[in-house]
Structure 1
């Protein structure tokens, strides 16, 4: 044993091992990407199943239909008239409809301000108290007056009103089964049912769920005069047209990448597909052949939505409160009518009514590749961790290099003209294991101040973009010809101004760093080591909370591992600098807006709204984690050009 440990110590200090660091990092990146591409295969994905046996999806007979269709058409006509008459009478009329059904009704006003614009409205909700319950648990049936696309949810609102009347009506007390000679009692609900009509799909649900949990600001959101039990599940109905539909699009993404329990999603799929014969789709994959290509596209679309962290529907606001929620969106033109969707909702609520305890047995972290197949966290998490670990490997390698004597003695002040044998001996293979045993003293002050300062600097764009106004202005006088075509959003002007500033910031910072602080080679290595170490630490922690965001940012930051200062080759450094400028978060945002055909201003307004209303923290990761790492890497690369320029002058 005494002979083994010295050998291991010598091998650990062998500088030749540092030469393998780039290859190990490259191998981790390649394996991580390939791992992700393998996930849609049957060998790595699993068939969905119901973990909570008490749900019993599709095991009950549904009675919604018949004469209820006439009630639905009447309510739908009421919704159409209210929309044409204006929004002032909407809340009062909905209140009247719920009261006529014999339900307790309450209203809630709210007003948010984001990007200089007011978002206000009034929610209306009613509560059906369970005849067999003690008001300790509740499920929520939601229909937004306008969906996420801004369309009038005419059939969705009418369907929720019809279901509220159906569940409470005197006819529902004794429903006669036409297949038998007896009547069925309707006192089956063990949980309260809350029927919620929100004024919109973004601010309204957030205001209501915040107030339900007493987490609202009384100055902007009114308290709820009526409350039920603890929320166990939420179902949102989105049916914005009049014709029959083809399939149900199940939307499940929550704020900050949080997801509902997989059992709720599986229950909805089982009821719609198995019991009702309605096709189910997800992630806007209207045609899915269950092949590898469509599975991969479905998974990647889910990762993008999860990585963005925005609300994908009214249900998203409930998930941060550990309330499992989904949106059932009727899509296409087919043979299924509103009664089929109503029976689906009824059966789903009956399954939620069977729950003995909160959803907990199934998965909360998963990737769906198809409506009936998913990938669990234990299978997909290594792909992100392999991407992230390459930053840590490189950071450790740079730390070891910074402790070598020649790293401490070699001063890279290009203007001083110093040339030492230690600079020429920079190659790892030229240093013997005996020479590497000595560790030089590391100067940590400048690297720590620079890296920490870069991360604190990320607060500036975070604050600017969340506080900029979306108001428009015209740079020309109104009397000028075509002045109305020269109208811009203020937040767009701010963004492109920051993009231009962001392009020159690394080079200005490099000039200040080289001319005033004269960093040595050791300090340059330590700056990059600390930056990559923090990036790896943040992303590894983020991967367990929002896998998709960690993977996407990690993949975008991969060039930071391989870009090094090149003082002896200024032309290569200039090309690398241009390449790094194209990988800036601002440029990635511009390219994304072009690809999705969404104006940059609209993306920033949505992000600011998410910050102000939803509590979305995607911007924090972008501007306080990703952007500082990019800035640090680009500054070190630009320092090569400054160093070369100083050397030419001297």
Structure 2
């Protein structure tokens, strides 16, 4: 009978090759882990080499196909606006009111529909249930002091060939109280384009020019305007209760200028669905040797605009206006010698591959590899961070493709002869981008939304960089299954007394449910991580506390809560102190921990792939290498001693504050580092509702605690 059952099992196994493959991988889990992790890291280092040149996927965009229509006459009018705005800086009071009035009047003279938009500056606060929404998504009530309100100035040009269903947004942040020459020049560039678009006949989409009142920051006015744009608001600026506003209030004074601003409305006006948005800024640095354009694209939780939008800006800036385009990079990596050494190796491999087959294009120069790696690391970091790199991030929360363009001239702002040429250059760039977007018959969809930049003209798509992530996390389920099988084998071998067949069956049944005990311990740690993630909200309510003090309070309360959970729900750590510990229990516990890590990384890859990529790179090797210290100490061998040292080092590195301090010290130097820096960094994450904050607390802290428990 037993032989017949064995034959049946054998025949079924032969009919299922996938099962035999799974058993083969599980039986060689150590070799599989080494190969997959090594291949994953290598694939990550190869990404700059595998980057492709960017291209325009949507043929309808046709960037640069038409000659620019922006003339010096438009620039002269823009220069006049710049002078009028700049002259207000010498006046001690009333600058905010007069500057808004001047901008609105210039818009109105072009025939645009102009309106003021009041908003209350929203302070970013901790909202545990709002991590996957925009930071300013709450509806602000009108029960605040009028003096705390800001006022945006909005102008709308109705497209002569459009039906009012689509619009393009141009944003220029302007501090109405402390505005500088750079902000005045950005207004001048926007006005030159706005004046041109007010009289062209080919415009098919409405144009919205938003002058965002950035005295409370650049993000708040854009977020408030977008919220009101997409949410019906009953009432207008004129309905503000006059009893709340004295005669010195900025908003109240706007109503008094009705003669000068008779064509300006106080009712919120809308255009069509937003096809794209451009945020324009002008900055000057003394280190510039040529006119440069910096592109900022990262939005909240790793969201990126369609790559076609960046591609048309890069194409027009380089090939039409002669600008040097830049994207963010980690400058400290540019001096890295080991990256240059890797670049030389890849260059040699590329030459070897080309000698074997001329069609194989592999390898780049060492300098290009180093620069591509620095840019790739920056792109990966800012996407993983989940914090927008500019106010364009507010548009991505409403699924509108938007980027920030920061133009830096090579000469001083005070050079009046060069100012007209600079305004013309910037205006023609914005005109070309708007003209391309105006050609679209539908929203951006042809190109990529998930990508990493290695330069302004090169990118790595998700289909390429997900290979590295898949290789790194692939050993997790294999090792988890192997540890589960090993724990069962150890428990079976340690069981010597077998009284009857019924007791054997009962023992096997109970043994199959032993993973629940390990799952309970892992659940306790995750519950602790969830509580730890809520603590900063209450700690931040304590007044007059330094960041270092807040951090120490956070750590102390976390340890106290851990002890309380230990007393209430049972120890998730001190199972090694039980009177009769079972040999396979640590393996089963590690199996459940690794399974939990695999599920967490997989879920995070859906929310923010860059965060999952960095998390896998840091946590997977640590989780796979951890081993109980008591076993290694008893062994007293060179191998066990080396593993003890390795596990202790990895346990410290896996602790989030230690990881942060080490990485910051490597990139920025260790001078002036303190524990408060980690609190400030984490505070910025939860203030922006970044999902990375939850990931750090719920996964990194839990994984660290779980590894300590396994130790």
TM range (shorter): 0.7 to 0.9
- For the 8 Å contact 1:470–1:491, the answer to whether it is kept is no
Alignment partner of 1:37 is 2:45: yes
**C-alpha distance 306-14 of structure 1, shift in aligned 2 (>3 A):** closer
Shift of 1:342: 1.0
Kindly report which structure 2 residues correspond to 1:340-359, keeping only aligned pairs within 5 A, or say none.
Answer: 340-359=425-444
CA RMSD after TM alignment: 4.0
CA distance in structure 1 between the aligned counterparts of 2:233 and 2:548, rounded to whole angstroms = 30
Q: Secondary structure at the match of 1:374?
A: strand
Alignment partner of 1:584 is 2:655: yes
CA distance in structure 1 between the aligned counterparts of 2:106 and 2:632, rounded to whole angstroms = 76
2:244 match: none
- Work out which of the residue numbers 221, 234, 250 in structure 1 matches 2:277: 234
Q: TM-score, normalised by structure 2?
A: 0.71
Shift of 1:146: 5.8
CA distance in structure 2 between the aligned counterparts of 1:450 and 1:585, rounded to whole angstroms = 21
- For the 8 Å contact 2:626–2:710, the answer to whether it is kept is no
In structure 1, the gaps of 5 or more residues are: 174-185, 411-419, 423-436, 474-488, 638-650
Alignment partner of 1:49 is 2:55: yes
CA distance in structure 1 between the aligned counterparts of 2:233 and 2:585, rounded to whole angstroms = 48
**C-alpha distance 356-510 of structure 1, shift in aligned 2 (>3 A):** closer
Shift of 1:204: 2.4
2:108 match: 99
- Work out which of the residue numbers 511, 518, 541 in structure 2 matches 1:447: 518
**C-alpha distance 379-193 of structure 1, shift in aligned 2 (>3 A):** same
- For the 8 Å contact 1:205–1:317, the answer to whether it is kept is yes
1:249 match: 294
Shift of 1:581: 2.4
**C-alpha distance 470-54 of structure 1, shift in aligned 2 (>3 A):** farther
CA distance in structure 1 between the aligned counterparts of 2:692 and 2:680, rounded to whole angstroms = 14
Shift of 1:339: 1.5
**C-alpha distance 315-15 of structure 1, shift in aligned 2 (>3 A):** closer
- For the 8 Å contact 2:293–2:407, the answer to whether it is kept is yes
In structure 2, the gaps of 5 or more residues are: 1-6, 127-143, 241-265, 335-364, 412-417, 498-507
**C-alpha distance 112-19 of structure 1, shift in aligned 2 (>3 A):** same
Alignment partner of 1:636 is 2:636: no
Kindly report which structure 2 residues correspond to 1:489-508, keeping only aligned pairs within 5 A, or say none.
Answer: 490-499=546-555
- For the 8 Å contact 1:307–1:546, the answer to whether it is kept is yes
Q: Count matched residues.
A: 575
CA distance in structure 2 between the aligned counterparts of 1:471 and 1:157, rounded to whole angstroms = 42
1:407 match: 491
Shift of 1:58: 0.7
**C-alpha distance 6-265 of structure 1, shift in aligned 2 (>3 A):** closer
Q: Whose helix fraction is larger, Structure 1's or Structure 2's?
A: 2
Alignment partner of 1:144 is 2:173: yes
Shift of 1:498: 3.2
Shift of 1:622: 1.3
**C-alpha distance 249-341 of structure 1, shift in aligned 2 (>3 A):** same
**C-alpha distance 278-578 of structure 1, shift in aligned 2 (>3 A):** closer
1:309 match: 386
**C-alpha distance 440-284 of structure 1, shift in aligned 2 (>3 A):** closer
Per mean C-alpha deviation after superposition, the further-off stretch among 596-605 and 354-363 is: 596-605
Shift of 1:91: 4.5
CA distance in structure 1 between the aligned counterparts of 2:593 and 2:57, rounded to whole angstroms = 43
Q: Secondary structure at the match of 1:237?
A: strand
- For the 8 Å contact 2:291–2:323, the answer to whether it is kept is yes
Per mean C-alpha deviation after superposition, the further-off stretch among 233-242 and 353-362 is: 233-242
**C-alpha distance 342-388 of structure 1, shift in aligned 2 (>3 A):** same
Kindly report which structure 2 residues correspond to 1:56-135, keeping only aligned pairs within 5 A, or say none.
Answer: 56-82=62-88, 85=92, 88-89=96-97, 91-104=100-113, 105-114=115-124, 121-135=150-164
Q: Secondary structure at the match of 1:111?
A: coil
Per mean C-alpha deviation after superposition, the further-off stretch among 278-287 and 304-313 is: 278-287
- For the 8 Å contact 2:655–2:700, the answer to whether it is kept is no
Kindly report which structure 2 residues correspond to 1:131-530, keeping only aligned pairs within 5 A, or say none.
Answer: 131-145=160-174, 153-168=183-198, 173=199, 186-198=200-212, 199=214, 200-214=217-231, 225-241=268-284, 246-284=291-329, 291-331=368-408, 333=410, 337-404=422-489, 406-407=490-491, 440-466=511-537, 468-469=539-540, 473=544, 490-499=546-555, 512-514=574-576, 520-530=582-592
Shift of 1:555: 1.1
**C-alpha distance 37-579 of structure 1, shift in aligned 2 (>3 A):** closer
Q: Secondary structure at the match of 1:383?
A: helix
- For the 8 Å contact 1:49–1:266, the answer to whether it is kept is yes
- For the 8 Å contact 2:299–2:396, the answer to whether it is kept is yes
What are the Cα deviations for residues 599-639 of structure 1, in whole angstroms up to 9, with x where unaligned? 77577556545545x542111111112221221111221xx
Q: Whose strand fraction is larger, Structure 1's or Structure 2's?
A: 1
- For the 8 Å contact 1:442–1:522, the answer to whether it is kept is no
- For the 8 Å contact 2:329–2:376, the answer to whether it is kept is no
CA distance in structure 2 between the aligned counterparts of 1:120 and 1:599, rounded to whole angstroms = 37
**C-alpha distance 370-15 of structure 1, shift in aligned 2 (>3 A):** closer
Shift of 1:518: 7.2
- For the 8 Å contact 1:115–1:605, the answer to whether it is kept is no
2:34 match: 26
Shift of 1:361: 0.8
Per mean C-alpha deviation after superposition, the further-off stretch among 564-573 and 364-373 is: 564-573
Q: Secondary structure at the match of 1:369?
A: strand
2:257 match: none
Q: Secondary structure at the match of 2:404?
A: strand
Q: Secondary structure at the match of 1:568?
A: helix
CA distance in structure 2 between the aligned counterparts of 1:110 and 1:496, rounded to whole angstroms = 34
- For the 8 Å contact 1:115–1:470, the answer to whether it is kept is no
Alignment partner of 1:622 is 2:696: yes
CA distance in structure 1 between the aligned counterparts of 2:44 and 2:293, rounded to whole angstroms = 28
Shift of 1:304: 0.9
CA distance in structure 2 between the aligned counterparts of 1:464 and 1:530, rounded to whole angstroms = 27
CA distance in structure 2 between the aligned counterparts of 1:135 and 1:13, rounded to whole angstroms = 60
**C-alpha distance 285-401 of structure 1, shift in aligned 2 (>3 A):** closer
